[in-house]
Protein backbone atom coordinates (compact mmCIF):
# COMPACT_ATOMS: atom_id res chain seq x y z
CA UNK A 1 0.00 0.00 0.00
CA UNK A 2 1.36 3.38 -1.07
CA UNK A 3 1.24 6.20 1.47
CA UNK A 4 -0.36 9.35 -0.26
CA UNK A 5 0.43 11.80 2.52
CA UNK A 6 3.54 14.02 2.26
CA UNK A 7 6.29 13.11 4.55
CA UNK A 8 8.02 15.43 6.98
CA UNK A 9 10.75 16.32 4.49
CA UNK A 10 8.29 17.38 1.76
CA UNK A 11 6.28 19.49 4.17
CA UNK A 12 9.41 21.26 5.28
CA UNK A 13 10.36 21.98 1.66
CA UNK A 14 6.96 23.40 0.87
CA UNK A 15 7.02 25.74 3.85
CA UNK A 16 10.47 27.05 3.00
CA UNK A 17 9.65 27.67 -0.73
CA UNK A 18 8.73 31.47 -1.20
CA UNK A 19 8.95 31.64 -4.99
CA UNK A 20 5.15 32.19 -5.47
CA UNK A 21 4.54 34.50 -2.51
CA UNK A 22 5.26 37.76 -4.37
CA UNK A 23 2.66 37.10 -7.00
CA UNK A 24 0.10 36.20 -4.40
CA UNK A 25 0.82 39.32 -2.30
CA UNK A 26 0.75 41.59 -5.37
CA UNK A 27 -2.55 40.13 -6.47
CA UNK A 28 -4.02 40.73 -3.04
CA UNK A 29 -2.80 44.38 -2.78
CA UNK A 30 -3.20 45.51 -6.43
CA UNK A 31 -6.88 46.41 -6.08
CA UNK A 32 -6.58 48.72 -3.03
CA UNK A 33 -3.43 50.33 -4.44
CA UNK A 34 -5.16 50.98 -7.77
CA UNK A 35 -8.19 52.39 -5.98
CA UNK A 36 -6.03 54.62 -3.77
CA UNK A 37 -3.96 56.02 -6.66
CA UNK A 38 -6.92 56.34 -8.98
CA UNK A 39 -8.98 57.89 -6.22
CA UNK A 40 -6.34 60.57 -5.68
CA UNK A 41 -6.46 61.35 -9.38
CA UNK A 42 -10.26 61.53 -9.33
CA UNK A 43 -10.27 63.80 -6.28
CA UNK A 44 -7.77 66.06 -8.06
CA UNK A 45 -10.12 66.17 -11.05
CA UNK A 46 -13.00 67.03 -8.73
CA UNK A 47 -10.90 69.86 -7.27
CA UNK A 48 -10.17 71.16 -10.78
CA UNK A 49 -13.88 71.11 -11.58
CA UNK A 50 -14.55 73.03 -8.35
CA UNK A 51 -12.12 75.74 -9.50
CA UNK A 52 -13.81 75.80 -12.92
CA UNK A 53 -17.20 76.08 -11.21
CA UNK A 54 -16.01 79.05 -9.13
CA UNK A 55 -14.67 80.91 -12.17
CA UNK A 56 -17.98 80.36 -13.94
CA UNK A 57 -20.08 81.65 -11.02
CA UNK A 58 -17.81 84.73 -10.79
CA UNK A 59 -18.40 85.49 -14.46
CA UNK A 60 -22.13 84.83 -14.15
CA UNK A 61 -22.74 87.17 -11.21
CA UNK A 62 -20.71 89.97 -12.79
CA UNK A 63 -22.63 89.60 -16.05
CA UNK A 64 -25.95 89.79 -14.22
CA UNK A 65 -24.83 92.73 -12.13
CA UNK A 66 -23.99 94.71 -15.25
CA UNK A 67 -27.72 94.77 -16.13
CA UNK A 68 -29.39 96.33 -13.06
CA UNK A 69 -32.45 97.44 -15.03
CA UNK A 70 -33.56 93.82 -15.57
CA UNK A 71 -35.91 91.73 -13.45
CA UNK A 72 -34.50 88.93 -11.31
CA UNK A 73 -35.82 86.28 -13.69
CA UNK A 74 -34.20 88.08 -16.65
CA UNK A 75 -30.94 88.34 -14.73
CA UNK A 76 -31.09 84.60 -14.01
CA UNK A 77 -31.22 83.93 -17.77
CA UNK A 78 -28.25 86.25 -18.38
CA UNK A 79 -26.24 84.69 -15.55
CA UNK A 80 -27.02 81.14 -16.69
CA UNK A 81 -25.93 81.99 -20.23
CA UNK A 82 -22.54 83.29 -19.10
CA UNK A 83 -22.18 80.39 -16.67
CA UNK A 84 -22.86 77.81 -19.39
CA UNK A 85 -20.32 79.39 -21.73
CA UNK A 86 -17.60 78.94 -19.09
CA UNK A 87 -18.41 75.35 -18.10
CA UNK A 88 -17.35 72.20 -19.95
CA UNK A 89 -19.85 69.55 -18.88
CA UNK A 90 -19.34 65.88 -19.68
CA UNK A 91 -20.48 62.43 -18.60
CA UNK A 92 -18.11 62.79 -15.66
CA UNK A 93 -19.06 66.38 -14.69
CA UNK A 94 -22.69 67.50 -14.54
CA UNK A 95 -24.23 70.72 -13.16
CA UNK A 96 -27.35 69.97 -11.14
CA UNK A 97 -28.58 73.41 -10.11
CA UNK A 98 -27.95 77.16 -10.46
CA UNK A 99 -29.60 80.02 -8.59
CA UNK A 100 -29.42 83.82 -8.61
CA UNK A 101 -30.53 85.74 -5.53
CA UNK A 102 -30.64 89.43 -4.68
CA UNK A 103 -30.46 90.79 -1.15
CA UNK A 104 -30.44 94.57 -1.09
CA UNK A 105 -27.73 95.56 -3.58
CA UNK A 106 -25.90 92.23 -3.28
CA UNK A 107 -26.24 89.65 -6.02
CA UNK A 108 -25.41 86.01 -5.27
CA UNK A 109 -25.05 83.31 -7.91
CA UNK A 110 -24.55 79.72 -6.79
CA UNK A 111 -24.11 76.44 -8.62
CA UNK A 112 -24.13 72.77 -7.60
CA UNK A 113 -22.56 69.93 -9.58
CA UNK A 114 -21.69 66.24 -9.38
CA UNK A 115 -18.38 64.72 -10.40
CA UNK A 116 -18.90 61.05 -11.26
CA UNK A 117 -16.20 58.67 -10.04
CA UNK A 118 -14.97 55.50 -11.73
CA UNK A 119 -12.41 53.71 -9.61
CA UNK A 120 -13.80 54.91 -6.31
CA UNK A 121 -17.18 53.50 -7.31
CA UNK A 122 -15.63 50.08 -6.62
CA UNK A 123 -15.79 50.90 -2.93
CA UNK A 124 -19.22 52.54 -3.10
CA UNK A 125 -18.28 56.17 -3.86
CA UNK A 126 -20.17 56.83 -7.08
CA UNK A 127 -19.81 60.62 -7.16
CA UNK A 128 -18.72 63.64 -5.19
CA UNK A 129 -20.87 66.78 -4.87
CA UNK A 130 -19.21 70.17 -5.37
CA UNK A 131 -20.58 73.71 -5.21
CA UNK A 132 -19.51 77.31 -5.70
CA UNK A 133 -21.03 80.67 -4.86
CA UNK A 134 -20.12 84.23 -5.87
CA UNK A 135 -21.33 87.58 -4.53
CA UNK A 136 -21.04 90.97 -6.17
CA UNK A 137 -21.89 94.49 -5.06
CA UNK A 138 -21.89 97.83 -6.93
CA UNK A 139 -18.60 99.68 -6.83
CA UNK A 140 -17.90 103.25 -7.83
CA UNK A 141 -14.33 103.67 -9.00
CA UNK A 142 -12.59 106.92 -8.19
CA UNK A 143 -14.11 109.29 -10.74
CA UNK A 144 -14.32 112.91 -11.81
CA UNK A 145 -17.67 113.48 -13.55
CA UNK A 146 -18.69 116.62 -15.43
CA UNK A 147 -22.33 117.04 -16.46
CA UNK A 148 -22.51 119.57 -19.30
CA UNK A 149 -26.06 120.90 -19.37
CA UNK A 150 -27.32 122.87 -22.35
CA UNK A 151 -29.43 125.64 -20.79
CA UNK A 152 -30.35 127.42 -24.02
CA UNK A 153 -33.89 128.50 -24.85
CA UNK A 154 -34.71 125.45 -26.95
CA UNK A 155 -33.67 122.99 -24.22
CA UNK A 156 -36.88 123.06 -22.24
CA UNK A 157 -38.15 119.48 -22.72
CA UNK A 158 -41.58 121.08 -22.84
CA UNK A 159 -43.38 120.33 -19.58
CA UNK A 160 -40.81 117.67 -18.69
CA UNK A 161 -37.83 119.96 -17.99
CA UNK A 162 -38.33 119.50 -14.24
CA UNK A 163 -38.53 115.72 -14.75
CA UNK A 164 -35.18 115.77 -16.55
CA UNK A 165 -33.58 117.65 -13.67
CA UNK A 166 -35.06 115.16 -11.23
CA UNK A 167 -33.45 112.31 -13.18
CA UNK A 168 -30.01 113.91 -12.96
CA UNK A 169 -30.50 114.65 -9.25
CA UNK A 170 -31.41 111.03 -8.57
CA UNK A 171 -28.42 109.75 -10.51
CA UNK A 172 -25.96 112.01 -8.71
CA UNK A 173 -27.45 110.93 -5.37
CA UNK A 174 -27.14 107.25 -6.30
CA UNK A 175 -23.53 107.61 -7.39
CA UNK A 176 -22.66 109.57 -4.25
CA UNK A 177 -24.16 106.85 -2.07
CA UNK A 178 -21.80 104.30 -3.65
CA UNK A 179 -18.59 106.15 -2.83
CA UNK A 180 -16.56 104.62 -0.01
CA UNK A 181 -14.62 107.79 0.76
CA UNK A 182 -15.51 111.46 0.42
CA UNK A 183 -13.01 112.16 -2.34
CA UNK A 184 -13.68 109.06 -4.43
CA UNK A 185 -16.42 110.59 -6.55
CA UNK A 186 -16.55 114.27 -7.49
CA UNK A 187 -19.15 115.78 -9.79
CA UNK A 188 -19.36 119.16 -11.51
CA UNK A 189 -22.39 120.76 -13.13
CA UNK A 190 -21.40 122.88 -16.13
CA UNK A 191 -24.30 124.99 -17.49
CA UNK A 192 -23.68 126.18 -21.05
CA UNK A 193 -25.11 128.94 -23.18
CA UNK A 194 -23.25 131.40 -25.40
CA UNK A 195 -20.37 131.33 -22.93
CA UNK A 196 -19.28 129.51 -19.76
CA UNK A 197 -19.39 131.25 -16.38
CA UNK A 198 -16.33 130.35 -14.29
CA UNK A 199 -17.10 132.99 -11.66
CA UNK A 200 -15.70 136.43 -10.92
CA UNK A 201 -13.38 134.91 -8.29
CA UNK A 202 -11.31 133.48 -11.17
CA UNK A 203 -10.07 136.91 -12.32
CA UNK A 204 -6.47 135.69 -11.87
CA UNK A 205 -6.99 133.61 -15.01
CA UNK A 206 -7.40 136.77 -17.08
CA UNK A 207 -4.53 138.15 -19.11
CA UNK A 208 -5.93 141.67 -18.52
CA UNK A 209 -7.45 143.40 -15.53
CA UNK A 210 -11.09 142.47 -15.09
CA UNK A 211 -13.42 145.31 -16.13
CA UNK A 212 -16.06 146.42 -13.65
CA UNK A 213 -18.80 145.05 -15.89
CA UNK A 214 -17.37 141.52 -15.96
CA UNK A 215 -19.89 138.86 -14.93
CA UNK A 216 -17.60 135.83 -14.71
CA UNK A 217 -17.89 134.58 -18.30
CA UNK A 218 -14.77 134.02 -20.38
CA UNK A 219 -14.36 134.77 -24.06
CA UNK A 220 -13.40 131.69 -26.10
CA UNK A 221 -9.60 131.33 -26.05
CA UNK A 222 -9.03 130.29 -29.65
CA UNK A 223 -5.68 128.85 -30.74
CA UNK A 224 -5.44 128.59 -34.55
CA UNK A 225 -4.02 125.48 -36.18
CA UNK A 226 -3.90 124.27 -39.78
CA UNK A 227 -6.87 121.95 -39.20
CA UNK A 228 -8.82 124.09 -36.74
CA UNK A 229 -8.45 127.88 -37.15
CA UNK A 230 -10.61 128.34 -34.04
CA UNK A 231 -9.19 125.45 -32.02
CA UNK A 232 -9.50 125.12 -28.25
CA UNK A 233 -7.19 123.28 -25.82
CA UNK A 234 -6.79 122.45 -22.12
CA UNK A 235 -3.82 124.76 -21.54
CA UNK A 236 -3.87 126.12 -18.02
CA UNK A 237 -4.28 129.86 -17.29
CA UNK A 238 -0.57 130.06 -16.48
CA UNK A 239 0.21 128.67 -19.93
CA UNK A 240 -2.22 130.96 -21.75
CA UNK A 241 -4.49 133.55 -20.16
CA UNK A 242 -8.10 134.41 -20.97
CA UNK A 243 -10.07 137.48 -21.94
CA UNK A 244 -13.30 138.40 -20.17
CA UNK A 245 -16.55 138.23 -22.08
CA UNK A 246 -17.22 141.95 -21.90
CA UNK A 247 -17.62 144.76 -24.41
CA UNK A 248 -14.21 145.71 -25.71
CA UNK A 249 -12.60 142.46 -24.53
CA UNK A 250 -14.50 139.55 -26.11
CA UNK A 251 -12.72 139.57 -29.46
CA UNK A 252 -14.75 136.61 -30.70
CA UNK A 253 -17.90 138.67 -30.26
CA UNK A 254 -18.18 141.44 -32.86
CA UNK A 255 -18.15 144.48 -30.59
CA UNK A 256 -18.25 146.97 -33.45
CA UNK A 257 -21.25 145.50 -35.27
CA UNK A 258 -23.06 143.98 -32.28
CA UNK A 259 -23.50 140.73 -34.17
CA UNK A 260 -25.48 139.11 -31.38
CA UNK A 261 -28.12 141.80 -31.00
CA UNK A 262 -30.80 139.89 -32.95
CA UNK A 263 -30.63 136.71 -30.90
CA UNK A 264 -31.90 136.29 -27.38
CA UNK A 265 -33.90 134.05 -25.08
CA UNK A 266 -37.65 133.81 -25.60
CA UNK A 267 -37.61 136.97 -27.73
CA UNK A 268 -35.41 138.95 -25.35
CA UNK A 269 -32.19 140.36 -26.82
CA UNK A 270 -28.85 139.84 -25.13
CA UNK A 271 -28.10 142.30 -22.36
CA UNK A 272 -25.68 144.96 -23.56
CA UNK A 273 -25.53 143.18 -26.93
CA UNK A 274 -23.27 140.53 -25.36
CA UNK A 275 -23.42 136.74 -25.61
CA UNK A 276 -25.51 135.27 -22.79
CA UNK A 277 -23.59 134.35 -19.63
CA UNK A 278 -25.34 131.41 -17.92
CA UNK A 279 -25.36 130.41 -14.27
CA UNK A 280 -21.94 129.61 -12.88
CA UNK A 281 -20.22 126.24 -12.56
CA UNK A 282 -21.13 124.16 -9.49
CA UNK A 283 -18.42 121.88 -8.14
CA UNK A 284 -16.36 119.85 -8.14
CA UNK A 285 -18.23 118.50 -5.13
CA UNK A 286 -19.15 115.24 -3.43
CA UNK A 287 -22.32 116.80 -2.01
CA UNK A 288 -25.33 115.90 -4.21
CA UNK A 289 -27.37 118.65 -2.53
CA UNK A 290 -25.14 121.28 -4.15
CA UNK A 291 -25.86 119.83 -7.59
CA UNK A 292 -29.57 119.55 -6.84
CA UNK A 293 -29.77 123.19 -5.73
CA UNK A 294 -27.93 124.34 -8.86
CA UNK A 295 -30.14 122.26 -11.18
CA UNK A 296 -33.27 123.65 -9.60
CA UNK A 297 -32.01 127.17 -10.31
CA UNK A 298 -31.33 126.60 -14.02
CA UNK A 299 -33.41 128.60 -16.49
CA UNK A 300 -33.26 128.25 -20.31
CA UNK A 301 -31.61 131.21 -22.02
CA UNK A 302 -29.33 132.07 -24.93
CA UNK A 303 -27.88 129.85 -27.64
CA UNK A 304 -24.93 127.43 -27.48
CA UNK A 305 -21.23 127.52 -28.37
CA UNK A 306 -20.71 123.77 -28.02
CA UNK A 307 -16.99 123.52 -28.75
CA UNK A 308 -16.36 126.13 -26.05
CA UNK A 309 -18.52 124.21 -23.58
CA UNK A 310 -16.70 120.95 -24.28
CA UNK A 311 -13.33 122.64 -23.86
CA UNK A 312 -14.35 123.82 -20.38
CA UNK A 313 -15.53 120.31 -19.52
CA UNK A 314 -12.05 119.11 -20.46
CA UNK A 315 -10.40 121.78 -18.32
CA UNK A 316 -12.49 120.62 -15.38
CA UNK A 317 -10.88 117.14 -15.47
CA UNK A 318 -7.50 117.86 -17.07
CA UNK A 319 -4.47 117.43 -14.78
CA UNK A 320 -3.09 120.59 -16.41
CA UNK A 321 -5.61 122.43 -14.23
CA UNK A 322 -4.63 120.93 -10.88
CA UNK A 323 -5.09 123.48 -8.11
CA UNK A 324 -7.21 125.83 -10.25
CA UNK A 325 -10.61 124.64 -9.05
CA UNK A 326 -12.05 124.79 -5.54
CA UNK A 327 -10.90 121.33 -4.52
CA UNK A 328 -7.53 120.20 -3.13
CA UNK A 329 -5.45 118.03 -5.48
CA UNK A 330 -8.04 118.32 -8.22
CA UNK A 331 -8.03 117.25 -11.02
CA UNK A 332 -5.94 114.12 -10.42
CA UNK A 333 -3.70 112.50 -13.05
CA UNK A 334 -5.51 110.47 -15.69
CA UNK A 335 -4.25 107.17 -14.28
CA UNK A 336 -5.59 107.90 -10.79
CA UNK A 337 -9.21 108.71 -11.54
CA UNK A 338 -11.72 107.89 -14.23
CA UNK A 339 -12.56 111.06 -16.18
CA UNK A 340 -16.14 111.20 -17.46
CA UNK A 341 -18.01 113.92 -19.35
CA UNK A 342 -21.77 113.71 -19.98
CA UNK A 343 -22.81 116.28 -22.60
CA UNK A 344 -26.58 116.95 -22.82
CA UNK A 345 -27.86 119.15 -25.66
CA UNK A 346 -30.39 119.40 -28.46
CA UNK A 347 -27.72 120.67 -30.88
CA UNK A 348 -29.69 123.81 -31.72
CA UNK A 349 -27.54 126.96 -31.88
CA UNK A 350 -27.13 130.31 -33.56
CA UNK A 351 -23.63 130.82 -32.17
CA UNK A 352 -21.96 129.45 -35.29
CA UNK A 353 -23.72 131.99 -37.49
CA UNK A 354 -21.65 134.63 -35.72
CA UNK A 355 -18.55 132.71 -34.58
CA UNK A 356 -16.18 129.96 -35.75
CA UNK A 357 -16.33 131.31 -39.29
CA UNK A 358 -19.93 132.47 -39.23
CA UNK A 359 -21.46 132.99 -42.67
CA UNK A 360 -18.02 133.04 -44.24
CA UNK A 361 -14.88 134.92 -43.29
CA UNK A 362 -12.41 133.69 -45.89
CA UNK A 363 -10.99 131.16 -43.45
CA UNK A 364 -13.72 128.57 -42.92
CA UNK A 365 -15.26 126.64 -45.81
CA UNK A 366 -18.09 128.55 -47.55
CA UNK A 367 -21.79 127.83 -47.06
CA UNK A 368 -21.35 125.96 -43.79
CA UNK A 369 -24.48 127.33 -42.08
CA UNK A 370 -27.25 124.70 -42.00
CA UNK A 371 -30.01 127.21 -41.37
CA UNK A 372 -31.53 129.27 -38.59
CA UNK A 373 -30.64 127.81 -35.20
CA UNK A 374 -29.11 124.75 -36.93
CA UNK A 375 -25.44 125.59 -36.41
CA UNK A 376 -22.74 124.97 -38.99
CA UNK A 377 -20.64 122.09 -40.23
CA UNK A 378 -17.51 124.07 -39.44
CA UNK A 379 -18.64 124.81 -35.91
CA UNK A 380 -19.57 121.20 -35.20
CA UNK A 381 -16.28 119.98 -36.67
CA UNK A 382 -14.47 122.18 -34.15
CA UNK A 383 -16.54 120.49 -31.42
CA UNK A 384 -15.37 117.10 -32.66
CA UNK A 385 -11.80 118.42 -32.73
CA UNK A 386 -12.00 119.15 -29.00
CA UNK A 387 -13.58 115.74 -28.33
CA UNK A 388 -10.80 113.94 -30.19
CA UNK A 389 -8.16 115.63 -28.05
CA UNK A 390 -10.05 114.68 -24.91
CA UNK A 391 -10.49 111.04 -25.87
CA UNK A 392 -6.83 110.75 -26.80
CA UNK A 393 -5.93 112.12 -23.36
CA UNK A 394 -8.15 109.57 -21.62
CA UNK A 395 -11.51 111.27 -21.09
CA UNK A 396 -14.68 109.18 -21.51
CA UNK A 397 -17.41 111.13 -23.32
CA UNK A 398 -21.16 110.37 -23.28
CA UNK A 399 -23.23 112.43 -25.73
CA UNK A 400 -26.98 112.78 -25.11
CA UNK A 401 -28.85 114.40 -28.00
CA UNK A 402 -32.30 115.63 -27.01
CA UNK A 403 -34.71 116.14 -29.93
CA UNK A 404 -33.65 119.23 -31.85
CA UNK A 405 -31.07 119.50 -34.57
CA UNK A 406 -30.60 116.48 -36.83
CA UNK A 407 -27.56 118.17 -38.39
CA UNK A 408 -25.75 117.86 -35.06
CA UNK A 409 -26.32 114.11 -34.75
CA UNK A 410 -23.34 112.77 -36.77
CA UNK A 411 -20.99 115.16 -34.98
CA UNK A 412 -22.33 114.19 -31.56
CA UNK A 413 -21.83 110.55 -32.55
CA UNK A 414 -18.23 111.32 -33.51
CA UNK A 415 -17.70 113.06 -30.18
CA UNK A 416 -18.87 110.06 -28.14
CA UNK A 417 -16.26 107.59 -26.96
CA UNK A 418 -18.06 104.79 -28.81
CA UNK A 419 -21.45 104.12 -30.44
CA UNK A 420 -22.62 102.87 -27.05
CA UNK A 421 -21.77 106.28 -25.58
CA UNK A 422 -24.24 108.11 -27.84
CA UNK A 423 -27.90 108.45 -26.86
CA UNK A 424 -30.72 110.03 -28.86
CA UNK A 425 -33.84 110.80 -26.84
CA UNK A 426 -37.24 112.24 -27.72
CA UNK A 427 -38.83 112.81 -24.31
CA UNK A 428 -38.22 112.73 -20.57
CA UNK A 429 -38.82 108.96 -20.34
CA UNK A 430 -36.16 108.20 -22.95
CA UNK A 431 -33.89 110.71 -21.26
CA UNK A 432 -34.31 108.81 -18.00
CA UNK A 433 -33.40 105.56 -19.76
CA UNK A 434 -30.29 107.15 -21.26
CA UNK A 435 -29.13 108.55 -17.93
CA UNK A 436 -29.77 105.17 -16.28
CA UNK A 437 -27.58 103.51 -18.91
CA UNK A 438 -24.82 106.03 -18.28
CA UNK A 439 -25.11 105.44 -14.55
CA UNK A 440 -24.76 101.70 -15.07
CA UNK A 441 -21.64 102.22 -17.16
CA UNK A 442 -20.11 104.46 -14.50
CA UNK A 443 -20.81 101.99 -11.70
CA UNK A 444 -18.71 98.84 -11.70
CA UNK A 445 -19.06 95.67 -9.65
CA UNK A 446 -16.75 94.08 -7.14
CA UNK A 447 -16.76 90.48 -6.06
CA UNK A 448 -17.28 90.26 -2.31
CA UNK A 449 -17.12 86.46 -2.08
- pTM here? 0.73
277 and 205, same structural domain? Answer: yes
155 and 56, same structural domain? Answer: no
Residue 93 contacts residue 116 (beta carbons within 8 Å)? yes
The range of the structural domain enclosing residue 195 comes to 143-447
Question: Which of 93, 116, 137 is where one domain is finished?
Answer: 137
157 and 187, same structural domain? Answer: yes
351 and 280, same structural domain? Answer: yes
204 and 254, same structural domain? Answer: yes
List the one residue out of 245, 227, 240 whose CA is nearest residue 305: 245
354 and 288, same structural domain? Answer: yes
393 and 287, same structural domain? Answer: yes
pLDDT tens-place string over residues 77-97: 988 998 988 887 776 778 899
In a domain, 6, yes or no: no
β-pairing, 422-425 vs 443-447, is unpaired
What's the average model confidence in pLDDT over 26-35?
54
195 and 132, same structural domain? Answer: no
In a domain, 8, yes or no: no
What's the average model confidence in pLDDT over 250-267?
46
Number of domains in the chain: 2
Residue 399 contacts residue 346 (beta carbons within 8 Å)? no
184 and 118, same structural domain? Answer: no
Q: How far is CA 305 from CA 53, 184, 192, 218, 302, in A?
A: 54, 31, 8, 12, 10
131 and 150, same structural domain? Answer: no
Q: Cα separation of 188 and 171, whole Å?
A: 13
Residue 353's pLDDT band (cuts 50, 70, 90): confident
Looking up residue 114, the CATH number of its domain turns out to be 3.30.1300
63 and 18, same structural domain? Answer: yes
Other CB atoms closer than 10 Å to residue 349's CB: what's the count? 30
Looking up residue 305, the CATH number of its domain turns out to be 3.40.50.410
In a domain, 19, yes or no: yes
Residue 146's pLDDT band (cuts 50, 70, 90): very high
Judging by beta carbons within 10 Å of its beta carbon (0-12, 13-18, 19+), is residue 144 exposed, middle or buried?
buried
What's the average model confidence in pLDDT over 36-46?
60
211 and 165, same structural domain? Answer: yes
In a domain, 1, yes or no: no
Residue 299's pLDDT band (cuts 50, 70, 90): confident
Residue 302 contacts residue 193 (beta carbons within 8 Å)? yes
In a domain, 256, yes or no: yes
Those residues whose C-beta lies under 8 Å from the C-beta of residue 428, and which sit 6 or more positions away, are: 157, 160, 163, 164, 167
Question: Which of 137, 168, 189 is where one domain is finished?
Answer: 137
Q: Which residues does residue 344 pair with via DSSP β-bridges, in sequence order?
A: 149, 400
Question: Which of 137, 159, 183 is where one domain is finished?
Answer: 137
Amino acid sequence: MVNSYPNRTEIKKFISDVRGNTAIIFALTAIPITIAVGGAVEFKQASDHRTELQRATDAAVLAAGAQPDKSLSELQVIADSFFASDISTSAQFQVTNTQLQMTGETLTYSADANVNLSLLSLIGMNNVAISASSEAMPRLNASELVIVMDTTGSMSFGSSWSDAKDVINETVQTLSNLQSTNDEFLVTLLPISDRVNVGTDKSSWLSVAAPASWNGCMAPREEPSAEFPYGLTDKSPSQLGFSPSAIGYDDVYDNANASWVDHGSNGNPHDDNLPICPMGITGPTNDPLEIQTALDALTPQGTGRFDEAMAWAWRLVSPNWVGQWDEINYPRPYNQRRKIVVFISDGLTEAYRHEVGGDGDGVSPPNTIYGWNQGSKWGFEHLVGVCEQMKEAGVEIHMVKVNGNSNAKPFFEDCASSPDHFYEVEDADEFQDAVATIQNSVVGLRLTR
